[in-house]
Amino acid sequence: MSDPIYVTQPFLPPLSEFVSLLETIWSSKILTNQGPFHQQFEARLRGYLGVEHISLTANGMLALEAALGALPLSGEVVTTPYSFVATTHAIRRSGLEPVFADVSPVDLNIDPIAVERAITPRTCAIVAVHCYGNPCDVDALEALAKRHGLALIYDAAHAFGVRHKGRSLPSFGDLSALSFHATKVFNTFEGGAVIAGSADNKAAIDRLKNFGITSETTISSVGFNAKMSEINAAFGLLQLEHFETCIQLRRRVDRHYREALSGVKGLRLIAHAADTEPNYSYFPLLVEEDFRCSRDELYEELKQVGIYARRYFYPLLSNIPSYQDLPSARQDELPVANAAVERILCLPIYPSLSTHDQDRIIEGVIGRGPG
């Protein structure tokens, strides 16, 4: 059998380029606690993302917890059930109550009309996800948040490098949380960041991620440890130099899939949004009823030939034991999300995916057997 193909493969720059950065760390012996690489990486990201305030974190989930912890929130948070489990867990672990609202059938992002219906006097915030890197309806969500006096936080774990309406997508909202996990479009092995709309929020996040410490003798809040180490920050600096090349390589893969699979009976591709420069982080397919087989049969068929597509984000978060008893988790209240998780399949996409391997995947999907 041919080599396995996984849903993603992290981009790694030439090792020789990283060694000199490691030598710097070895000689300085500064390993963590906002050292020089941490500061340089924050500065470079501010420039790249066109934002004023950013705080690096150890991973994307803690970035989201830090974002939620930076604001004076209590009560209910309206959020999507169609995401990775970190989104809802971060809300719950912050002592807040997740309230699910359905998603739009067009892009599987939270539907502002459903959000408005879910708002009660106890709602304090909206946590929306730019799912697969496709922008939420940022204007409608901002208007809603303003009208109801709510905080607007984006889980932008998939959105690094996306530009929307002339701005970097993670710059929308009061706060956005990024993930730099190995499986993400931009990785620092593990890592993340919060983009803050104000210096005060950035300061609150900097404190929270450092145990709530303000100075050597002042501990002003109950924080945690979510600091990014120097090794991850140095690696991020290097990764940034290669990022545009990675996006171009991903664009090639995305185009080839779209050319080969658009118009195949029973397959629906999610279109790139208008006024958007995508990051091509995922390639989601919806396997409709009139396709030659079901989504799960397709998933198994591909696995048989060594292609490991993934059903992101199955199961739906409103259907897992931790959340299924919430009143907002009722399946009839979330028809679009419940239907989508039964149909979704994410095909492999990453910079080093060869055309040969991609053709194997396409042939497997279309049903011409192993390529």
Contacts with ligand T4K, residue ranges (CB under 6 A):
6-10, 59-61, 83-84, 86-87, 129, 155, 157-158, 179, 181-183, 192, 308, 310, 312
Q: Output the CA–CA distances (angstroms, integers) from residue 314 to 61, 97, 311, 320, 337, in the order listed.
A: 18, 22, 6, 10, 10
| Choice between 291 and 298, CB closer to ligand T4K | 298
Output 291 or 347, the one with its CB closest to ligand T4K: 347
CB-CB contact of 77 with 118 (8 Å): no
The CB-of-62 to ligand T4K minimum distance in angstroms stands at 7
Beta carbon nearer to ligand T4K, 299 or 312: 312
Least distance to ligand T4K, CB of residue 282, Å: 8
Written as six digits, the tokens of 82 are: 């169609």
Could you give the 3-state DSSP secondary structure of residue 138? helix
Longest CA–CA separation in the chain, Å: 68
Detail the DSSP E strand segments found in the chain: 5-6, 53-57, 76-79, 97-100, 123-129, 151-155, 163-164, 167-168, 175-179, 192-196, 213-215, 218-219, 267-269, 276-277, 283-287, 307-308, 344-347
Shortest spacing between CB 38 and ligand T4K, in angstroms: 17
- Cβ nearer to ligand T4K, comparing 4 with 50: 4
Pick 156 or 329: Cβ nearer ligand T4K: 156
Q: Please, which residue, 228 or 261, has the CB nearer to ligand T4K?
A: 228
Residues 6+ apart with CB under 8 A from 141: 110, 112, 115, 126, 128, 152, 173
Residue with tokens 């490098």: 161
Reported as type and span, the H/E element at residue 236 is helix 230-261
For residue 48, what are the contacts with CB-CB under 8 A and spacing of at least 6?
Answer: 168, 240, 243
CB of 178 to ligand T4K, least distance (A): 8
The nearer residue to ligand T4K, 157 or 316, going by C-beta atoms, is 157
SS3 62: helix
Q: Count H helices, E strands: the chain?
A: 11, 17
Q: How far is the CB of 284 from ligand T4K (least distance, A)?
A: 12
Nearer Cβ to ligand T4K, position 89 or 258? 89
Closest contact distance (angstroms) between CB of 156 and ligand T4K is: 8
Minimum gap (Å) between residue 158 Cβ and ligand T4K:
6
Closest residue by beta carbon to ligand T4K? 60
User: Strand 151-155 and strand 123-129: pairing?
Assistant: parallel
Q: How far is the CB of 58 from ligand T4K (least distance, A)?
A: 8
